[in-house]
Structure 1
Amino acid sequence: MKKTQVILLLMALTLSLSLQAQKPLSYTLTKPSSLTIKFNPKQKLPPLNLPCKLTDGKDRPYACEFSFDKLEFYGNDGSLLGTVKPVKGQPPITLLPFYKAKKSAPAGQGGLITYTVKAYFTRRNTPAFPVSKGYQIRTCKVTACLPSDEISTVVSGVAMPAGLNDQAILTFDLSWIYSKKDGLMIGPHEVYLENDVTTTKFTTSVQTPLRDRAEAWIDIQPAITGDPSSAN
């Protein structure tokens, strides 16, 4: 065989192997007992039903349905003001411009100040219990909130049809009692997503943090900036 023919033959074999490598591959293992096991590398594995942790470090008795991906603050013109993501320990301060509030008392006067937020969740597990009226968003004025602290229900009866590993986005308003003069910023500092049935399955002990009952939660630390009123 001539050298040119050998080169052409090698090129043809290389092209054939290259084309085959681009096709989806499957692997077959055959045991002596004639049992054949097939593996498809493109087939998605089912999600692992991993428990999340309670405040004391133990596994939560019911796997958390969602992860809290982030919370976004929006101005009255639709602009994104800030994004908060879950962190260990104290959350960073989120600066919110006074003039971008959806609602506020006149500058120099104390009162409610309101911003629109978007909460992003990803479903990690199926519900431990079917909801009754739906999911609910609740807030607390402190972090590591206990049942004895002041808790508010912001939204209730929410449907969360997201499938496993799919994202769900909820839009709602959060309000604080604010006064620059008095140095006040009283309102939500912890936000929770609850299954209205699963949350009732936990002990009613006064020492059970609200975050342990929630399917997902996040800490926030908002601060108002750009208030033209005097601080004196």
Structure 2
Amino acid sequence: MPHTYLISGTSRGLGLGLVRYLLSSSKQTKVIAGVRNPSSAIDLQSLVDDFGNERLHLLKLDVENAVENALADLESSGFLGDGGLDTLIANAGISNALPPPSETTPELVQANLNVNLYGVMNLVTSSLPLLRKGQAKQIFAVSSTVGSLGGLFSENSLYTAYCMSKTILNMYMRKLSVELKEEGFTVVMYSPGFVKTDLTGGYGDMDVEQAVKLGVENVIRKVTKADNGKFLDVDGSVAPW
């Protein structure tokens, strides 16, 4: 069955990997790749050459600004035809604050919230009309176990602002899952693992290709409506809150 994804933050790293894997692993898949500057997204442009513009659409999308206008542009582009979106993957995120709590300023927290929380909220709100027209009605937020109060990283004092933003994101998504349950939505948070990307400074337990395959096969393509509201790790197991 044809399946259409909208993914944010796709110029590099996990987002780019998701676009590539989803398209290459199923000819039934179409992807809208949200990116701040499509004209400079060389890797994405290469994927358009590989898969064709009937399967991959580059959408100028900044999750902090004018998201509603970007989604209107998507509708008017004709890429969706008479259908809607099946799956939203809110992937765009930042981590620019290393300090421990005593050195973390409100400004550092705000900078992380602007993308990691408010960016997801903006994207969800603007995408809901198209998701309601779709068949799958799935919303994924790329979260992290560093935001888990019961996880191992809660014993680490660093990256306070980033961790806080993911904890709050999880509560937003949990509330959203309750709101949209009766409409048949599946709303899930998932942690992609400790991946070697620019976000992690190149450190990690696995490369992007491995993380993407695990996330898609264990979570994104595997969840059912029974998983609505869950926080899942990249292996498909339930992560602690």
What is the TM-score with the length of structure 2 in the denominator? 0.23
Which is higher, the Rg of structure 1 or of structure 2? Answer: 1
| Greater helix content | 2
Larger RCO (CA under 8 A, 6+ residues apart): 1
